[in-house]
Amino acid sequence: MRIDVLGIGFDNLTKKEAEQKAYSLMQERNRAYIVTPNPEIIMQSRKDEQFKTAVNSANLVVADGIGVIYGAKILKRPLKEKIPGIELVQDLFAQMAEEKRSVYLFGAKPGVAEKAAKRLEEQYEGLSVCGHHDGYFTEDAAIIDEINHLQPDLLLVCLGAPKQELWMHKNADSINAGLMIGAGGSLDVFSGEVLRAPVIWQRLGFEWLHRLIKNPSRIGRMMQLPKFLLVVFGEKIKK
């Protein structure tokens, strides 16, 4: 049974359990997809039923963000662990490399996925980046045809929320890939275009603050966190 946090159902797993579940889904090749909601995504879903359906229909839903963990704890529905989407993907890459599996990179600005492909194949010897496409498109039929021709074990969909979740939900039955994961800005990190926060910031749950310092224009998005916590407290009072 999933843990409900303001209408989004989270699978209550450790990071290791999530990795094992994801790898199993990939091996089954049953048109599965994974989403990694943070407080911003939860708040968006409260205003968009179609988006909420896309998120809750995923085969695996894990908490990407310390805010979700705090929210679940306040609601007395604790989740085992924060599972950043980028780290889940990296863990899968390491395992995939050992078995010489393939990934298709989809999203980001022109040139970013190509750069990420080169760096990933260097970092994970044995991993094959079988194809890539940027996130700027009007029709996706040609992209889907290419993916289906290549039949990757993993399709990394990095279009940002809510576009990537809606895209995976809409096209799940048409995609011939082992597994899809919505991974937001991961390609920017894999390409070297963006650096993650230092590990100590990540462990303390302040990665969001590091992003804000590096990119102050994100302040509007970051304001979703206090709004999320206010709604959580309101939900607790109602209960």
Would you say residue 210 has pLDDT above 60?
no
For residue range 95-152, what is the model confidence (pLDDT) as tens digits? 999 999 999 999 999 999 999 999 999 999 999 999 999 999 999 999 999 999 999 9
Would you say residue 203 has pLDDT above 80?
no
Average pLDDT score over residue span 223-235 = 88
Where in 7-138 does DSSP place strands (E)?
8-10, 32-35, 60-61, 102-107, 128-133
Return the pLDDT at 238. Answer: 84
C-alpha 36/C-alpha 62 separation (Å) is: 5
Return the pLDDT at 1. Answer: 86
Q: Which residues touch 24 (CB under 8 Å, ≥6 apart)?
A: none
Q: Which residues, listed in sequence order, are joined to residue 180 by a DSSP beta bridge? A: 33, 155
For residue range 78-111, what is the model confidence (pLDDT) as tens digits? 999 999 999 999 999 999 999 999 999 999 999 9
Helix, strand and coil content of the chain, in percent to the nearest 5, comes to 55, 15, 35
Would you say residue 68 has pLDDT above 90?
yes
Return the pLDDT at 222. Answer: 61
Phi-psi region of 38 (alpha: psi -120 to 50; beta: other; left: phi over 0): beta
Where do the structural domains in the chain lie, given as residue ranges?
3-238
Return the pLDDT at 208. Answer: 60
Would you say residue 175 has pLDDT above 70?
yes
Average pLDDT score over residue span 2-13 = 98
For residue range 24-50, what is the model confidence (pLDDT) as tens digits? 999 999 999 999 999 999 999 999 999
C-alpha 154/C-alpha 13 separation (Å) is: 21
C-alpha 214/C-alpha 222 separation (Å) is: 13
> What is the token pair recorded at 156?
């990394």
pTM of the predicted model, to two decimals? Answer: 0.92
